[in-house]
Structures are given as C-alpha cells and as structure tokens.
Amino acid sequence: MNLFLFIVILIISFIAVRIGAIAFQITGLDWSLAKFQALSCFTGTGFTTKESELITGNPQRRRIASVLIVLGHAGLVSMIATFANTLRPNSLLPRFEIPFLHAMIPSGLLPWINLLIIVISIYLVYRLFSNSIFAARMTRIIRSQIKKKQLIKPVSFNELVIATGGYGVSQIAVCKNSPLLNKTLIESDLRRHDIMVLAIERDREMIPNPDAKTMIRLGDSLICFGKLENIRHNICVM
C-alpha cells in the first residue's frame, strides 16, 4: 500500500509541476522559464532573486507560486513518509497471498526489492513525462481546460527582466483600488519613479506610446518599462 501511494504521489507531483508551468506560460512567461519556475516553486530550490521578480511582481503568478509551494511541501512530506514505510520489512509483498512467496524471498530482502521497485517506478514515470508526444498531448489538454474554465487570465506579452539591475517590462492591470485610476499619465507622476508607460491595452485594443494627457481608466492594462521594484511599489495594488 505504501509503495502504491508513493507512486501515485510521484505521478501527481509531475502533473502539478506541468500544470504550474502551463499556468505561468499563460501569464506571459517563456515556456522554458515557466517550466523552471514551476519546478523551483514546487521543490523550493533554484529560485534566484533575479527571476523571482517575474513572479512576485505579478498577482496571478504569486497565486500560482503559492499553490505550487504548498503542494510541493505536502507532496514532499507524503513521499518521505511513504518511502520510509515502504522500506520497512514485511511492508508490501507479504500482504499478497502468493504461494511459496515466503519460502522463495527472505523477509530481509523485501526492503531492497521495494527500493528497486521505487527506482524503476521513478525512472518509468520520468520517461513517460519526458516523452515529447505524451507531454505535448497532456500540455494541450491541460491548457485547453485552464483557458476554458478561465482559471488564469492570459496576457499577450512576455515579461522580461533586463540585465542585473532589475529593470524590465511588465503589464499591470488597473483596478478600482489603483492609485492611477482616473489620472492622466502626467498626473500619475510615474516618470519621477523612473517608470515609462510604453503602451496601454484598452478594450482589446493597443494604444502604443500614449500621450501624456491620456487618461488611465478602469480595466486598462499598462505595459511599463522600469525597475520592477518601483513598478511593484508604485503601481501594483497588493
């Protein structure tokens, strides 16, 4: 039973990371970066300060990362517990009523047999999820379901961090609590914070290089360039 649970948790973990990667990609991250960030959040490793700006500066990505972190910790604890129980003598094979089993396999060898099954299972699951055909088909199904249920709001650009200074391009949705609502670009005083509005997405139309007198309305999406920390502190509503 413990061995079966270990394999199930392992498969669910692979699926959770794939779902997280797809969700990150829908929010605008490059696919390779989305996969790395999903794996980093789930395992709690490899999450660099520079790339964390791409997650912490976007509300949708913060929610995705939070779910992955919680699932990752729960999955890790469960896998450790089931793995430890699996290696206990008489934990798996003696439960099955197989004639002459006890005479053929000493009880001291059962933990090693279970360990071998675990290694083979990990290898097979990894091979399955790394298979390009299976991965592509699963990705299409998951992406279509996420978009169909509108779980993640898609964006039409890739957020990009430039060099090591933390500068980049970011898209910010203007909500009713935004400090920029019903202000012109010049009244918003974004220039003083070293933030440049490159374009405004409004009613599915793009306004490139908007004029300083352009009014910021509810529902607008501002595509800005500047230091991501400044953008987060002066535009984002936490």
**Percent of all residues in the chain with a pLDDT value above 90, rounded to a whole number:** 11
pTM over 0.95: no
pLDDT digits (tens, 9 = 90+) for 175-218: 888 888 899 999 988 888 888 999 998 887 888 889 989 999 98
pLDDT at 80: 81
Other beta carbons less than 10 A from residue 4's beta carbon: 12
